[in-house]
Structure 1
Amino acid sequence: MSDDTKQAYWRANLRLLAWCLSIWFVVSYGFGILLVEQLNQIKIGGFMLGFWFAQQGSIYVFLLLIFFYSWRMNQLDRQYNVHED
């Protein structure tokens, strides 16, 4: 693998990681702390939405992001022809 390909692969990995962490930050900190009062006006299943995001929603989003990151990294590995030896 050439140095340019390695750098492109690393940049793609960092970009993906930055997006995933940004989404997780917005969901956990933004929805669970900053926007909790506005989201608490909405009730789902008897629970206020802001409370749900603070207690469980951010965990579910984190788990989804782990699976998404794994799936997307497999695509990047194939795209940049990265093999495990």
Structure 2
Amino acid sequence: MSEKQKKATAYWKENLRYLLILLTIWFAVSYGAGIIFKDVLNNIKIGGFKLGFWFAQQGSIYVFVILIFVYVRLMNKLDKKYGYDVD
């Protein structure tokens, strides 16, 4: 395997690791907070709304958008690390 292929494989593995971590967070927030822990979270209120309801309706969307920005930042750093950035 050439050095270029090794670099590309390492880049892709790190990219997949980032994806797995971020998708796990998204799943935990959207499914966990919005469905599984809904009853526990409903004991807390935000702006008059129960927290479990808020996560099911709004919170998971906010977290998803934040994770998009986190992914972009991570990928920019990863591109620089492996020399794939374009300046």
TM-score when scaled to structure 2? 0.92
* Separation in structure 2 between the aligned mates of residue 56 and residue 62 of structure 1, nearest angstrom: 10
Instruction: Select the residue among 5, 17, 20 that pairs with 2:19.
Output: 17
Q: Does 1:3 align with 2:2?
A: no
Structure-1 residue corresponding to 2:65: 63
Q: Sequence identity of aligned pairs in percent?
A: 57
Q: Which amino acid aligns with 1:81?
A: G
Which digits, 9 at most, give the CA deviation of each residue in 1:21-74, with x for residues without a partner?
000000000000000000000111111000000000000000000011011100
- In 1: Cα distance, 2:50 partner to 2:41 partner: 7
Q: Aligned partners of 1:83, 1:43: CA distance in 2, in Å?
A: 44
Contact 2:43/2:50, CA 8 A, preserved across alignment: yes
Task: Please identify runs of 4+ aligned residues in structure 1 that moved more than 3 A.
Answer: none
Q: CA deviation at 1:3?
A: 1.1
In the TM superposition, 1:1-85 aligns within 5 A as: 2-83=4-85
RMSD (CA atoms): 1.0
- 1:83 Cα shift? 3.8
How many aligned positions are there?
A: 84
Q: Unpaired segments of 5 or more residues in structure 2?
A: none
Structure 2 distance, partners of 1:37, 1:6, is 45
